[in-house]
Chains A and B, each alone.
Chain A
Amino acid sequence: MESLFKLRGELSSSQSILLGLVGLALLILIWWGIAESKSVQFPIVEGDKLEYPSAIGADAATLAVIDSLATVDSIRLANATEFKKVYPIIPNPWHVVQSFPDLIQEDRLLANTWLSIWRNLQGYLWAILLSLPIGFLIGLLPLFRGMLSRPTDALRFLPLTALTGVFMLAFGTQETMKVSFLAFGIVVYLLPIVVQRINEVKDVYLKTTFTLGATDWQTIRTVYFPSVISKLIDDIRVLTAISWTYIIIAELLNKEGGIGALMYTSGRQGQTEKVFAGLIVIILVGFLQDWIFLYLERRLFPYKHYPTAIPGINDSQYGIYIILGTLLLLVVLAMLAPGIFASVLTFAYIVLISGLILIGLGEYKIFKTNT
């Protein structure tokens, strides 16, 4: 027990699982407590729709929010056949769980989530595609550093959400606008980080490779790339959290699909449990993303996690390169040549699946050599 209060003390694995569960339970308990305290007994009259557990249709919910029970209009009170407990602000956790079947069947939750992930992926890959080369130019060449380092710092201060109108004028209201809004939102953060990571490359590595006879390009290839990208992968992982905020904003602009539009519409209809369900889906996708980034880091930069080179890691690496390369190509085509994109999509799926198979093969090899 004492060890739990030691500064920076370590947790055993069983402790850490147990405490994790306790934390989660506490969180749900607090959520439930707030939901209950904000719930109201709402008078039900004939003709009220009782579709949703939390509210009685949009109008009733809005009423319940605006008026406390005491001021709900007297006609409704007089005609009430029964009273029902409703949760106009914070939904009951159990109702959130119950809303999933409806979300999946009626609101096409999976398709909408996939659409948001695809938009996110596009925005992300575009941001990386732009930030890396520009960042390397600024970080490595005085010419570009002189011209661009101030403007890139200025970009970070742009209130991007205020520029949504400009983005709609420039790119329309469809996918291109959403993806470029997101890409721009990430570039303003990513670009300065790329430059910073380049500045952080240890001088002694550069001196060493110079005295070993490396050309500029060889130094970039063997020192700058591995050093910068192995750190960037962590930076990008952290930025994915921000990108979810941006993609939701972009989806609200015309509400054509996506989990952001779905949550917004549900919220407007008083179905708060669907909003919370959407949040849970986003968190789960976020965890999945984190896991994928961690996997990429372990396979592309094994030195950060293992003392010794892993035999058989090459297959996994090639698989990762194939998938990343294909996705990059798809993302570029989707924006610049939608016609070609549509025609190569089937072929791209085949390539992506081959990449996955290669990764599986590599993982099997690694697993076999470890045991």
Chain B
Amino acid sequence: MLDFKDTELKNIIELRGITQSYDNGETVIIKDLNFLIEDKPAQGQFVVILGMSGCGKSTILRYIAGLQEPTAGSVLVNGQPVGADNRVSMVFQQYSSLPWMTVLDNVGLALRYKGVPKKERDEKAMELIELVGLAGHEHKFAQYPTLSGGQLQRIAIARSLIANSDILLMDEPFGALDIQTRIQMQDLLLSILHRFHSTIIFVTHDISEAVYLGDDIYIMKSAPSHFVEHIKVDLPLERSRDTKREQRFVDLVREVEDRMISVAQLG
């Protein structure tokens, strides 16, 4: 069991006593779930949530994004209940770009919603388009197959960064990508983490991806869902493909795998 102690640090995300039930409490999906992510300013952090399909990983992200409300318990972002003022953006596994808009307009969406004038938001969007490596594609309509799956996810990442680069929620964002693109996207995420010092909360079921990207890995168990394991990844902050060949990486992958299997048996 995890227990969270009060610390000096500001809590960037906090889920307290979450219960999710359906059919007037007859079916309980999540019970007494607590989850706390402390702010690490000027550093950022990569939090990975691992778990088997249907264990409620995505539900946690939906709570934080405000897309779903728990039956009981509270969800706090930056110390405030989730609402219009502390909206956190999310990258989904499905392609989520609006096909009737260009890449430029898609990336600038959050600024448009805030009422930023077009010229200004185009400039800012262009900066991020360059950052995620999509320069030259800005006037294309954001749809498949004009743009590849990887490019569409780059749009989604740039769009989320422009909305709020402090916190990024990612729900299996690379699930539909081929292995080569996936590796490129992983490195892109790490570079973003180091540049913006974001808190990235990343849901996946790929253990090697979790170890490679994560600073903290949380393993969820299902029926009823809650967090059962917390693994600190003690790899160096700067990672590359060489990291995956280090003994420590291999050991960690094995350790996480063992724990996931024991969690599965536990359930």
* Same complex origin of A and B: yes
Which residue of chain A has its CB nearest to the CB of B162?
A212
Q: B98 and A212: CB pair below 8 A?
A: no
Q: Determine the chain B residues whose CB is within 8 A of the CB of A208 once the complex forms.
A: 89-90, 92, 96, 156, 159
CB neighbors of A among B205-256 (8 A)? none
Known: A211-B169, A303-B141. A226 touches B110 (CB 8 A): no
The reply to whether the CB of B143 lies closer than 8 angstroms to some CB of chain A is yes
B100/A303 in contact, CB under 8 A: yes
The CA of A215 and the CA of B140, in the complex, are separated in Å by: 26
The residue in B100, B110, B159, B163 that gathers the most chain A C-beta atoms within 10 A of its C-beta is: B100
Closest residue of B by beta carbon distance from A307: B146
Tell me the complex Cα distance, A211–B162, Å: 12
| A74 adjacent to chain B (CB < 8 Å) | no
- Within 8 Å of chain A (Cβ to Cβ): is B132? no
A25–B103 CA distance with the chains assembled, in angstroms: 48
Q: By the criterion CB–CB under 8 Å, are A307 and B140 in contact?
A: yes
User: How many angstroms between the C-alpha atoms of A120 and B98 in the bound complex?
Assistant: 34
Q: Is the CB of A213 within 8 A of B110?
A: yes
Q: Are A210 and B141 in contact (CB under 8 A)?
A: no
Do B140 and A211 touch (CB < 8 A)?
A: no
Check B139 for interface membership: any CB of A closer than 8 A.
Answer: yes
Check A212/B87 contact, CB under 8 A, given A204-B96, A303-B100. Answer: yes
Closest chain-B Cβ to A115's Cβ sits at a distance in Å of 37
Given contacts A211-B65, A303-B143, whether A222 and B98 have CB atoms under 8 Å apart is yes
Interface secondary structure of A, over-half rule: helix
With A218-B113, A306-B141 as contacts: A211 and B66 at CB distance below 8 Å? yes
Known: A308-B139, A308-B141, A309-B139. Is A211-B89 also a contact (CB below 8 A)?
Answer: yes
CB distance from B155 to the nearest CB of A (A): 11
Contact partner of A211 among B90, B100, B146, CB < 8 A?
A: B90
Task: Establish whether residues B87 and A213, one from each chain, have CB atoms under 8 Å apart when the complex forms.
Answer: yes
A217 to B163, CA, bound (A): 18
Which of B66, B109, B169 lies at the interface centre, i.e. has the most chain A CB atoms within 10 A of its CB?
B109
Q: Which of A220-234 contact B (CB under 8 A)?
A: 222-223, 226-227, 230
- Find out whether the CB atom of B139 lies under 8 angstroms from the CB atom of A212: no
- Assembly CA distance A214 to B112 (angstroms): 9
Given known contacts A211-B65, A213-B110, A303 and B99 CB-to-CB distance under 8 angstroms: yes
Q: Which among A210, A213, A215, A227 has the greatest number of chain B C-beta atoms within 10 A?
A: A213
Given the complex of chains A and B, what is the CA–CA distance between A208 and B110 in angstroms? 10
Task: Using known A-B contacts A212-B87, A213-B84, A309-B139, determine if residue A205 contacts B113 with beta carbons closer than 8 Å.
Answer: no
B-chain residues with CB within 8 Å of residue A207 when the two chains form the complex: 65, 67, 90, 92, 96
User: In the complex, how many residues of chain B place their beta carbon closer than 8 angstroms to a beta carbon of chain A?
Assistant: 32
Q: A212-B163, A222-B109, A309-B139 are in contact. Are A204 and B94 (CB under 8 A)?
A: yes
Bound form: Cα–Cα A213–B89 in Å: 8
Note all chain B residues with C-beta closer than 8 A to A215. 113
B5 is an interface residue with CB less than 8 A from chain A? no
Chain A CB within 8 A of B114 CB: yes
A209, CB-defined interface residue at 8 Å: yes
A212 touches B89 (CB 8 A): yes
Interface assignment of B71: CB less than 8 Å from any CB of chain A? no
Q: Any chain B CB within 8 A of the CB of A301?
A: yes
Q: A204, A208, A307: which has the most chain B beta carbons within 10 Å?
A: A208
Instruction: Return chain B residues, CB-CB under 8 Å to A204.
Output: 92, 94-96
- Given known contacts A212-B87, A212-B89, A213-B163, A227 and B140 CB-to-CB distance under 8 angstroms: no
Find out whether the CB atom of A227 lies under 8 angstroms from the CB atom of B100: yes
Most B CB within 10 A of own CB, among A210, A211, A227: A211
Given contacts A212-B159, A306-B141, A307-B140, contact A226 B100 (CB under 8 A): yes
Give the distance in Å from the alpha carbon of A207 to the alpha carbon of B96 in the complex: 9
B113 touches A212 (CB 8 A): yes
One digit per residue, 1 when the CB lies within 8 angstroms of any chain A CB and 0 when it does not, for chain B 148-192 equals 000000001001100100000100000000000000000000000
- Bound-state CA distance A297–B89 (Å) is 32
5 pairs, CB–CB < 8 Å, chain A vs chain B: A207-B67, A207-B92, A212-B109, A212-B113, A307-B146
Q: 4 closest Cβ contacts across the A-B interface? A: A303-B141, A208-B96, A226-B100, A212-B110
Contacts beyond the supplied A212-B113, A306-B141: 18 A-B pairs with Cβ under 8 Å: A204-B92, A207-B67, A207-B96, A208-B89, A208-B92, A211-B65, A212-B89, A212-B109, A212-B163, A213-B114, A218-B113, A222-B112, A226-B100, A303-B101, A307-B140, A307-B146, A308-B102, A309-B140
